[in-house]
Structure 1
């Protein structure tokens, strides 16, 4: 299976993206998937998408940028609300 590219998007690039990144690392380890996980601030997103996109975007903040790949709402990793559903969505996307 090819290496997956995952971009975790947040407002400032600190706490929320780190929380999202930690959760994604656990998921890819469980699935035994090799992945490149990048943290990007929302203002960097347009540049990131123009450079090839990603297999998955984990959004820790809302964005109006048109994404060229599937995305999930990663806020559940901070709030805990709907966390298991987001984990299942990520597993489904990365297993395709």
Structure 2
């Protein structure tokens, strides 16, 4: 089971949208039951990264992150979304 943290400024608005998109992506590619998504604010992300397998954030990468990081901004803008989706799928396939 891989733990994926999804962070945004407040841990509520945009992270909720991104969690839904990541869930759809992973489930449609056969990863249902192989991951756990957790939402948080970017302020909480550094502490949570100590036990997470991956951090996806809709903000700039904060200093001190201890797990791999993927920008979630393409889920909001649509620009580069396919590339980010592939990074997530590659991560899950490891």
RMSD: 1.3
Asked if 1 retains the 8 angstrom alpha-carbon contact of 2:11 and 2:39, the reply is yes
What TM-score comes out, normalization by structure 1 length?
Answer: 0.86
Asked if 2 retains the 8 angstrom alpha-carbon contact of 1:70 and 1:93, the reply is no
Aligned match of 2:37: 37
Name the CA distance, whole Å, in 2 between partners of 1:69 and 1:31.
23
Partner SS, residue 49 of structure 2: helix
1:71 deviates by 1.4
1:28 deviates by 1.8
Unaligned runs of 5+ in 1: none
Matched, 1:46 2:36: no
Unaligned runs of 5+ in 2: none
Asked if 2 retains the 8 angstrom alpha-carbon contact of 1:55 and 1:94, the reply is no
Aligned match of 1:20: 18
Q: How many residues align?
A: 92
1:38 deviates by 0.2
Asked if 2 retains the 8 angstrom alpha-carbon contact of 1:9 and 1:40, the reply is yes
Asked if 2 retains the 8 angstrom alpha-carbon contact of 1:6 and 1:38, the reply is yes
Runs of 4+ more than 3 Å apart: none
